[in-house]
Structure 1
Amino acid sequence: MDTLSGINSFVKAVESGSIASAARQLGITPAAASQNIARLEQYMGVKLLTRTTRKLSLTESGDVYYTKVSDILHRLELAKSAVTQLQGVPQGRLRIATSITFGRHIIAPLIPAFCARHPTLSIELISTDFNVNHSNDDVDISIRFKQQLEAHLVSRRIATVPMIICAAPAYLEKAGIPRTPEELSEHACLLYRPAFNGLLLRWGFIRNGLHFEPELRPSIISNDVDSLTQMAVAGAGIARLGSFIAAPLIASGQLQALFVKSSNGQDNGSLDAEPLDFYVCYRDRNEVSLKMRLFIDYLLECLPATQA
């Protein structure tokens, strides 16, 4: 029998908590994943999993077996990567997880040219603002903003995105233009609540070298930056947007930047909205495969140090 397929389905089912989730990761049907596990159990002569309609759990034999085989798949992938690096040709699938907005606007447009350079690779791009588990979710690389970083992952900064405080001209005509960040407490503010921790993302500023966070009055909260952008354009309030989103809308007149001399004639001294840093993350610096290294180098090549 194909023992490796059975082990693969078994390990993915245990780590993801369901056979259906394991099947999605493997690109097969749940029925095929279930059959793989059943054949493995028949081959082993023991029951490895207890399945009900709501729960998947390891038997005592399954627990022992899982501890012995869970690392095999990772070691096989490392062995394959070592061989392909000798050949200098990247092979297989590269699974990339990225925060939604940065992935949609910055990473996704870069993928086709990378695929054209390396036609022997296949790419899976996962856009989510939840923090993925590299092992359980079978992710090679994740791209995260600073607040998403986790200590157990290796991280390397790939871009610093200027943040722009902005609003539609119609809103500013109705509500007035705030002259300082402190005046934001008197305005309708559109705030982002990221999925990974459920906390409102604060608006940081740097004035004359000192960092501060003004009080804000949230009028609308969303876990989707593009939705906040559309609401800002519609005149719902003031938003804090990455420059790659805000700049085209400011150029077209749909939004107006705040706290810059050209917008309000006020000299705020040296005042900037705190930028947002983005990082590429992976599990172990000693286990960077050829396909991972090529993609990281490609990002550093394509992304300027600061995204204007």
Structure 2
Amino acid sequence: MNLLQLIRSFTRTAQTGSIAAAARSLGISATAVGQNIQRLETHLGVRLLNRSTRQLALSEAGALYLAQVQHIEADLARAQALVTADDIVPSGPLRIASSRAFGRHVLAPLLPSLQQRYPQLQLELRLSDRAVQHGPETVDVSLRIGAQLEDGLVARPLARIPFLFCAAPAYLAAHGMPQEPAELQHHRGLLHRFPTDGRPLRWGLRRGDARVDAALPPSMVCDDIDALAELAAAGAGITRLAAFVADPYLRDGRLQTVFGPASAWQPEPMEVFFCVSDRRDFTARIRALFEHLQAGLPPAWQV
């Protein structure tokens, strides 16, 4: 009896909420997963899952057992990484989750050179603006802004990226250039709705030790930052963009900064964190990714 295989089928079912999802995650049939759980229950002499035609739920014994065994697979993987050549040559799967804009504009250009350096790495990039769950979604690393941080994650600062308030030159010519944060209330706001809490993200501004949240009437709200950049370039209003989105528009003149470098008020930067589930998760391949990103980011963004 392969007890680890039985435990893996049980924990993956508990994490994903269904035998079918566990089977897909493990790459085996749903029948095999179900049989493995039954064998484990027979071995333990207790029922781990309460099954019905509509739902699958942990029994009391199952919840206690899960709390003790759910880290076994990860602990074994970490132990293997410490005593094998992986510690010298990073290899194996590396699943990275990121927001769509950061993944598209920053991560995607940097990852090919990482794989060229370590061809045995098997990279997977998952882009979503929601906060992914490391365990249930088998994610090794997530890149998150402060609004996405959660208790239980180990978060290392990775980058501090400028935010820029931007609008089309024609819009500013017609509606005026704001000089103070309070003047923004008379402008059209193009706001980004983030799925973490469903509310538009706040726009922080600082002048010395003073801080304010900019108040813009939401003329338009969108969940995609690249679409907001296009709306702003078309003259729809003022939006806030990370530098990696705004820079091409600023270079070709389609957008102009509001509260630019000469202003007393400066937008608060975007802080990006490199997140893992446990400090022990910094295996060779994860360290390689962290160091590669640190080295590849513009010096002005590095922390």
TM-score above 0.5: yes
Correspondence for 1:294: 288
CA distance in structure 2 between the aligned counterparts of 1:285 and 1:83, rounded to whole angstroms: 17
Structure 1, residues 267-301: CA drift from partner, whole Å, max 9, x if none?
Answer: 74x32111111111123324421111111111111
Q: Equivalent of 1:36, from 25, 33, 36?
A: 33
Shift in Å at residue 50 of structure 1?
4.3
| TM-score (ref. length: structure 2) | 0.87
CA distance in structure 2 between the aligned counterparts of 1:19 and 1:119, rounded to whole angstroms: 34
Aligned length: 299
**Higher mean C-alpha displacement, 165-174 vs 219-228:** 165-174
The answer for unaligned runs of 5 or more in structure 2 is none
Shift in Å at residue 94 of structure 1?
1.3
Matches within 5 A, 1:79-228: 79-84=79-84, 88-228=88-228
**CA 1:42 to 1:146, structure 2 compared with 1: closer, same or farther past 3 Å?**
closer
CA distance in structure 1 between the aligned counterparts of 2:53 and 2:237, rounded to whole angstroms: 47
**CA 1:257 to 1:16, structure 2 compared with 1: closer, same or farther past 3 Å?**
same
CA distance in structure 2 between the aligned counterparts of 1:23 and 1:238, rounded to whole angstroms: 48
Structure 1, residues 169-217: CA drift from partner, whole Å, max 9, x if none?
Answer: 3323433332332211001101112111223211111124422223221
Q: Say if 1:95 and 1:141, in contact at 8 Å, map to a contact too.
A: yes
CA distance in structure 2 between the aligned counterparts of 1:152 and 1:63, rounded to whole angstroms: 19
Matches within 5 A, 1:66-77: 66-77=66-77
**Higher mean C-alpha displacement, 225-234 vs 63-72:** 63-72
Q: Say if 1:85 and 1:289, in contact at 8 Å, map to a contact too.
A: no
**What's the Cα RMSD here?**
2.6
CA distance in structure 2 between the aligned counterparts of 1:53 and 1:255, rounded to whole angstroms: 57
Q: Name the amino acid aligned to 2:179.
A: R
Correspondence for 1:282: 276
CA distance in structure 2 between the aligned counterparts of 1:259 and 1:89, rounded to whole angstroms: 47
Q: Say if 2:6 and 2:40, in contact at 8 Å, map to a contact too.
A: no
**CA 1:43 to 1:187, structure 2 compared with 1: closer, same or farther past 3 Å?**
closer
Q: Name the amino acid aligned to 1:36.
A: V
**CA 1:143 to 1:96, structure 2 compared with 1: closer, same or farther past 3 Å?**
same
SS in 2 for 1:306: helix
**CA 1:58 to 1:176, structure 2 compared with 1: closer, same or farther past 3 Å?**
same
Q: Say if 2:163 and 2:269, in contact at 8 Å, map to a contact too.
A: yes
Q: Name the amino acid aligned to 2:256.
A: Q
CA distance in structure 2 between the aligned counterparts of 1:63 and 1:246, rounded to whole angstroms: 48
